Structure 1
């Protein structure tokens, strides 16, 4: 699930365009193969093995796939929270109850997302997660993550900080999206790890 709608600095914009262009060039086989490998590596994370609650998301289009990972976590009896985009760009959360319990929701004509169809748990539900899996476009050697620019996950990270919550933060990416440097702003927060089809890279 991406973030949309907020302008940022030109360097971030240029990197976003490059990454999105590379993703659009991927074939369906590329995306499916990467999703299987990514799920396998993510499930090897000790932090996920010990987690009772994981905040995740439903990948859309050519984002690194999450379906296999979500199902595997559910099979482990992990409580999986999925985001629901609010009109102001913030995120509410709902529990994942399987692919059949997801609804396709169009937001303001801009994009269609798969969201949990059940009870809304409130924006603060994420503060109870042991691990938060974040979407992103790139991450650098310091763990700085590049999102889509909408600020939805900036709000999530700020909410975790205000609550004194310290879940493990991991971003799901393709291999080429591990870059030397992501332009950072004062509100940006580093992640602890990146999971790609080739393995896990830790930062903090």
Structure 2
């Protein structure tokens, strides 16, 4: 299966999820994410604000900020070259022309990701070897080249998105952990 075919399959599956399915999945996923994050020491972590049917739900940044009030929470800001800048989450976000939500605080630069011990990334699918399928822009692959050695890189998925094989290329960066809701 090609990347395009796998993307299409996952996006179609996500499109079939109802609002109540998404809410239940977000709550279950957050509970699993908390279990992981309480085991991984961190002073700084990155996350993102999910949109549409992305795993984690739109309140993910706020929930992380409440759960880890002494940790610095960095959120991405998409640059025109599709690389990621970073900003500290302060509770204030704005919607961009691309439909993304970004923090409104000062930009810290592309290298700010190096301060994070935990990097939470969006994904459409992940295989058991840690190969991640994103939306195809390469933003997170570029950002992950800057991750500190030993950082825990976590992909959030819906049930059924941990797959046998993700097509990958040399520039694709692997993740080290996946979190799924585990709904039955």
Q: Is 174-183 or 63-72 further displaced after alignment?
A: 63-72
- Higher helix proportion (structure 1 or 2): 1
Q: Which residue of 2 aligns with 1:131?
A: 118
TM-score of the two chains, using structure 1 as the length reference = 0.83
- State whether residues 42 and 48 of structure 1, in contact with CA within 8 Å, keep that contact through their aligned partners in structure 2: no
Q: Which residue of 2 aligns with 1:142?
A: 129
Secondary structure class of the residue paired with 1:81: strand
Determine which of 57, 81, 90 is the counterpart of 1:97: 90
Q: Contact (CA 8 Å) 1:23, 1:62: kept in 2 or not? A: yes
Map Cα deviations across residues 81-137 of structure 1 (whole Å, 9 max, x no partner). 000000010010011112xx011111xxxx311100111111100010010001000
Seen in structure 2, the aligned counterparts of structure 1 residues 46 and 103 have a Cα distance that, compared at 3 Å, is closer
- In the TM superposition, structure 1's runs of 4+ consecutive aligned residues that sit over 3 Å from their partners are 46-49, 66-69
The answer as to 2:139 corresponding to 1:152 is yes
Question: How many residues get paired?
Answer: 181
Q: Which residue of 2 aligns with 1:190?
A: 174
Give the secondary-structure state (helix, strand or coil) at the position aligned to 1:159. Answer: coil
The normalised TM-score by structure 2 is: 0.92
Does residue 121 (structure 1) correspond to residue 121 (structure 2)? The answer is: no
Q: Structure 1 pair 69/114, CA: closer, same or farther in 2 (3 Å)?
A: closer
Where in structure 1 are there 5+ consecutive unaligned residues? 1-9, 200-204
Query: What's the offset of the Cα at 1:157?
Result: 1.3
